[in-house]
Homo-oligomer: A and B are copies of this chain.
Amino acid sequence: MRKIYTPSSAASDVLEVIQILEGRWKLLILFHLFDGKVQRYSDFEKLIPGISQKMLAQQLRKLEADGIVARKVYPQVPPKVEYRLTDWGQALCPALDALLSWAEQKDHFAPPAS
């Protein structure tokens, strides 16, 4: 069940994962992108309660800079911008799934006192 980690390589990978996914919003944004129903800036605003415009734009830029998200601007008025996952971003899907099913398992390990 457990992988053998080779410290020299894995340590820097961990650092990279932390850097790329760090923050309160990135996983949330990615989650909606995996969902496939959200591509536009205003969609995120509606679906992620509490996020500010600043944070939404900033985190999308970071995800773009890290090669996870691609941004496509349609030169029209009013402007239209679509966000999608890059191939590398798509490759994150299994990992996010694993994280989510881990969260779902919580009650199995620590049943709520009822």
Contacts and interface: CB of A to CB of B under 8 A. Distances in A.
Interface of A: 1-3, 5, 7, 9-11, 13-18, 22-24, 27-28, 31, 34-36, 67, 86-88, 91-95, 97-106, 109-110
17 contacts: A2-B34, A2-B36, A3-B93, A5-B31, A5-B35, A17-B99, A18-B28, A22-B22, A22-B23, A67-B109, A86-B109, A91-B105, A92-B102, A94-B98, A94-B102, A95-B95, A95-B102
Copies of the chain in the assembly: 2
B97 A16 contact: no
A-B CB proximity, top 5 nearest: A95-B98, A88-B109, A13-B103, A98-B98, A95-B99
